[in-house]
Amino acid sequence: MESGVRVAVGFWGLVGFWLVKVLILALICFFLGWLGLRALDALTPRIHEREEIGKDPIATGLFISGFLIYVALVIHGAVTTLPGGSFVGSLFMRRLGIIAIAFVVSLLLAIGLFNLLDRLTPQIPFAKLRHSSLGTGLYVFGYLIFLGLITNAAFAAAF
């Protein structure tokens, strides 16, 4: 049982607290998503995703769609997490740490499985994506959905 002073908060105070929490978590996860895209660049150095996607409007549309799904999953995770106990005191210490750890572990696991799949299927050379803007756009679209799902799962693990 936690010790400390409990303060009664009115409805609008609770709404304000919830809104600030959602904004902070969304910004942090936006940063995690950016790091995830940087990890994709490191994972596939022979495929220049941003350059390829920019060559085709359909690929650009897929990228934007994937990003919107990522943001929707992040906001869903942030909105549906309810503060428990001393949320404010533990926000930056425990819960954000758990979110970051769950995100990184999921990302590393996916990178490992991605590399394993690439090695087990030599007849499907992943590097050929660099020859197709549309293929690259679809690939990054799926990757952004993946990032959104692992971020959402990280919220579930932390709260």
Cα(137)–Cα(50) distance, rounded to whole angstroms?
Answer: 9
Residue 100's pLDDT band, with cuts at 50, 70 and 90, is: confident
> For residue 83, what pLDDT is reported?
56
Does pLDDT of 19 surpass 80? yes
Residue scoring higher pLDDT (136 or 45): 136
Residue 9's pLDDT band, with cuts at 50, 70 and 90, is: low
Going 152 to 153 to 158 to 159, the CA torsion angle's sign is: positive
H or E stretch at 90: helix 87-90
pTM of the shown model: 0.73
Q: Which residues, including other chains, have CB under 8 Å from residue 114's CB and lie 6 or more apart?
A: 43
